[in-house]
Structure 1
């Protein structure tokens, strides 16, 4: 569903490790003045962030946007909840998926597109520990095969 992306500002690398991502949606985000300046300097952290639906509105919580260095007393609060800009149909889809057992709504990456900050959110089902181990084994096996193939081609 997500279209072309601009400059990637932050990425949640643990999202693919902890969840099976079923579907993604691109959402705008409401930011204050100094927040967008910090975002443009890539001072964003999505590691522990999650999306919650309140009063038929999507809110992102625990996303850390650091203080802007040149900001004064009007600087923003780093961990405040921020509203996501979505269509009503998309919010209803998120509500339906989040009610299913084991599904969560998590931000995957944040990027700048045409001067606007966008967040790619994904609907994911949590992985069990043995699934995570299996993924690591597969990833390591692919890496070993690529190394062996590369060394074989160099000879």
Structure 2
């Protein structure tokens, strides 16, 4: 992601529930009122996922709130949206998601050079003990940093 991009929505739950093994940037097909709503920061990636079927990549369950001034031009907030990827990227992701336990999860929604982009992660599901281990590691790191700050005061 370059310096001139602005993150508008982030899926924080994804890093908690999955091991992200690879990321790929994809364009997304939107209507005019959807992009206006996204620019206002009214998009939600929680519980959304990507799927590859019939040689196309699609994004499911991403919620984009209707644009207030959109009236009859507004569309269904959770409609299926097409992702723009090269054919070789789609084939690679299709092969990888055929493996057991792999999923395509959207991580970030941002504007780059005037275009709306989605960062898709190839993810493997975490077990409960993995989640607990991550929480314990994060707490231990926080304690170490706190101890170092206390030590530097003297």
Q: Distance in 2 between matches of 1:63 and 1:74?
A: 18
How far does residue 74 in structure 1 lie from its aligned partner after superposition?
1.5
2:7 corresponds to 1:18: no
Count residues in correspondence: 153
5+ unaligned residues in a row in structure 1: which ranges? none
3-state SS of 1:70 partner: helix
Match of 1:110 in 2: 109
How far does residue 75 in structure 1 lie from its aligned partner after superposition?
1.1
How far does residue 154 in structure 1 lie from its aligned partner after superposition?
1.7
CA RMSD of aligned residues (A): 0.8
5+ unaligned residues in a row in structure 2: which ranges? none
How far does residue 140 in structure 1 lie from its aligned partner after superposition?
0.5
TM-score when normalising by structure 1: 0.96
Match for 2:2 among 1, 4, 12?
Answer: 4
Q: Distance in 2 between matches of 1:154 and 1:40?
A: 44
Q: Distance in 2 between matches of 1:153 and 1:50?
A: 45
How far does residue 71 in structure 1 lie from its aligned partner after superposition?
1.2
Question: Residues 59-74 of structure 1 correspond to what in structure 2 (within 5 A)?
Answer: 59-74=58-73
3-state SS of 2:70 partner: coil
Q: Distance in 1 between matches of 2:146 and 2:88?
A: 46
Q: Distance in 1 between matches of 2:73 and 2:32?
A: 9
TM-score when normalising by structure 2: 0.97
Q: Distance in 2 between matches of 1:154 and 1:57?
A: 57
Following TM superposition, where does structure 1 have runs of at least 4 consecutive aligned residues deviating by more than 6 angstroms?
none
